[in-house]
Structure 1
Amino acid sequence: MIQIQKLNKTFGAGPTAIHALKNINLDIQEGEIFGIIGLSGAGKSTLVRCMNLLERPTSGKVIVNGQDLTKLYKAQLRKARQSIGMIFQSFNLLMQRNALDNICFPLELIGTKRADAVKRARELLALVGLEDREKAYPAQMSGGQKQRVAIARALATNPKVLLCDEATSALDPTTTLSILELLKKLNAKLGVTVVVITHQMNVIEEICHRVAILDSGVVAEQGLVADIFSHPKTDIGRRLVYPNGVQIDRLPPSRVIRIAFNGGSSYEPLIASLAIDCGVKVNILGADTRNIDGKAFGTMLLGLPTADSDAVKALRYIQNQPDITVEEVPHG
């Protein structure tokens, strides 16, 4: 569906040039929800703008629906963009138009008859749950309502791809969840491929199938969300997945192990089971775990008992649990 091949983007020239994107390679499959995450300045928004050529790459290919957008003439590119919708953090609605007319706007640009445009806009308002707000202007709507109108507008031309550039960053947590649920619904109902650009890991875990982590313009790692959450391979991956990780140099001088939950049931109470089955108590020194579709991911740091026999008993018990890996944490 979307193939990014050896993509580079440089702003400026000479010693002051900014290399925003460096040799990006991504393959986004049709019908999936793909996440791109990174810290501020990682190049996320530049990358998503290159996907529809709002920013023209310095080099490389952007292939969408089998077309290399970098090789299209202006008229061809305008036509190709009709299959690529985009929503933004700041909504970008026209303040002088009501909800209905905002959605009609892209249809007007391609010459759709007014009656057909209105019919389509009303269908989309119903789809995003705002059929009773068609006459409301942006100033009369909440942030969540404005983003729903923006999503409806992005869908007006029946796109196959929906690009979401920090689409929930300006919203409160409850509204964010409702917008993510809407995107999942649209993905399932319409089959639209969704690309989510965000700096929020909770957005990735809530909605995405696969994810790429961007760091200083480079793809640091990519893969299934479950795999990245259970085994981040890079420093930036660990920082994003475990932002509140325990500092090892602050741990007490005892035997410490790190256990990683790799997708087993999140309803199995490991520490309680250890105490009941083995009669051994351990100290939880730190934890950063999460429940994704009933499966447990993340890590936990445990301080084992000072008695060697109890420590060995606890370690063997944990090592025998499914979907859990264990390593001892060395003290520096």
Structure 2
Amino acid sequence: MIEIRHLNKTFGTGEGAVHALEDISLTVEAGEIFGIIGLSGAGKSTLVRCMNLLERPTDGSLVVDGQEITALGGKELRKARQSISMIFQSFNLLMQRTALNNICFPLELAGWNRADAVARARELLKLVGLEDRENAYPAQLSGGQKQRVAIARALATNPKVLLCDEATSALDPTTTVSILELLKELNRSLGVTVVVITHQMSVIEEICSRVAILDGGVIVEQGRVQDIFSNPQTDIGRKLVYPGGVRIDDLPASRVVRIAFNGGSSYEPLIATLAIDCGVKVNILGADTRNIDGKAFGTMLLGLPEDPNDAARALNYIRSQPNITVEEVPAHD
């Protein structure tokens, strides 16, 4: 669906040039929800704006649904953009237009007659659960409602791709969950391909199947969400996956092991079964774990008993469990 190959974006020239994106290559499959994550200044928004040529790449290739977008201009580019819609953190609604007329706006630009545009807008308002708010102005809507209108507007021209640039960053946690559920439902029901740009790993784990980590304008990791969560390979990956990670230097001096959960069931309590099956109690010194579709990912630091026999039984038991890896922390041998 989306093929990006060796894409670069540079602002300015000479000594003052800023290389916002460097040698970006990634593939987004048709019908998937793909995440792009990074800290502030990583180049996320520049990348998503290059995907619909709101920013034209300095060089490189961008193919959407078999069409080389970077080769287009004028009328051809405007037509291609109808299949690549975008929603924004700040909603970008027209304040002087009602919810209904905000959704009609891209249809008017596309040359639809008024009756057909209104019918389509009402259909979309129902789809996003706002059929009773068609005459409300943006100032009369909550943040979540504004984003639902923005999503409906983005869907007006039946796009194949929906780009979401920090679409939930301005929303409270409860509203964020409802918007993510809406995006998942639209992906399922309409088959629209969704690209999610965010700095929040919680958004990635909730909605995406694959993810690319951007740092300093470079993709440093990409793959399945569960693989990145279970074993991030870079410092920035570990910082994003475990933002509240435990500092080993701060732990008490004792025999410590780090266990990693690699996709086993979230509903099998390891520590409790260890105590029941082996009669061994361990100390949880730190943990950063997540439940993704009923599967456990993340890491936990355990302090083993001082008795060497108890510690050996605990280690043997943990190592025998499926989808779990364990390593001793050398500084605490």
Give the structure-2-normalised TM-score.
0.99
Residue 302 of structure 1 aligns with an amino acid whose one-letter code is L
Separation of aligned partners in 2, 1:315 and 1:306: 13
SS in 1 for 2:30: coil
Find the counterpart in structure 2 of residue 192 from structure 1: 192
Separation of aligned partners in 2, 1:257 and 1:300: 8
Find the counterpart in structure 2 of residue 142 from structure 1: 142
Separation of aligned partners in 1, 2:10 and 2:331: 43
Task: Report 1:90-105 matches (<5 A).
Answer: 90-105=90-105
CA RMSD, Structure 1 to Structure 2 (Å): 0.7
Residue 320 of structure 1 aligns with an amino acid whose one-letter code is S
Query: Structure 1 residue 256: deviation in Å?
Result: 0.7
Number of residue equivalences:
332
Task: Report 1:1-332 matches (<5 A).
Answer: 1-331=1-331
Query: Structure 1 residue 251: deviation in Å?
Result: 1.6
Separation of aligned partners in 2, 1:50 and 1:224: 23
Query: Structure 1 residue 250: deviation in Å?
Result: 1.3
Query: Structure 1 residue 254: deviation in Å?
Result: 1.1
Residue 133 of structure 1 aligns with an amino acid whose one-letter code is R
SS in 2 for 1:331: helix
Query: Structure 1 residue 74: deviation in Å?
Result: 1.4
SS in 1 for 2:124: helix
Separation of aligned partners in 2, 1:245 and 1:151: 35
Separation of aligned partners in 1, 2:2 and 2:205: 21
SS in 2 for 1:55: coil
Q: Percent of aligned positions with the same letter in both sequences?
A: 80
1:288-316 per-residue CA deviation (whole Å, 9 max, x = no partner) reads: 00111111110000011111111111100
Separation of aligned partners in 2, 1:170 and 1:110: 30
SS in 1 for 2:135: coil
Structure 1 segments, 4+ long, off by >2 Å, are none
Give the structure-1-normalised TM-score.
0.99
1:247-283 per-residue CA deviation (whole Å, 9 max, x = no partner) reads: 0111211111000000101111111111111111111
Separation of aligned partners in 1, 2:250 and 2:94: 53
Q: Which runs of 5+ in 2 are unaligned?
A: none
Residue 166 of structure 1 aligns with an amino acid whose one-letter code is E
Separation of aligned partners in 2, 1:136 and 1:252: 58
Separation of aligned partners in 2, 1:131 and 1:73: 37
Residue 223 of structure 1 aligns with an amino acid whose one-letter code is G
SS in 1 for 2:8: strand
Q: Which runs of 5+ in 1 are unaligned?
A: none
Separation of aligned partners in 2, 1:186 and 1:257: 43
Residue 233 of structure 1 aligns with an amino acid whose one-letter code is Q
SS in 2 for 1:170: coil
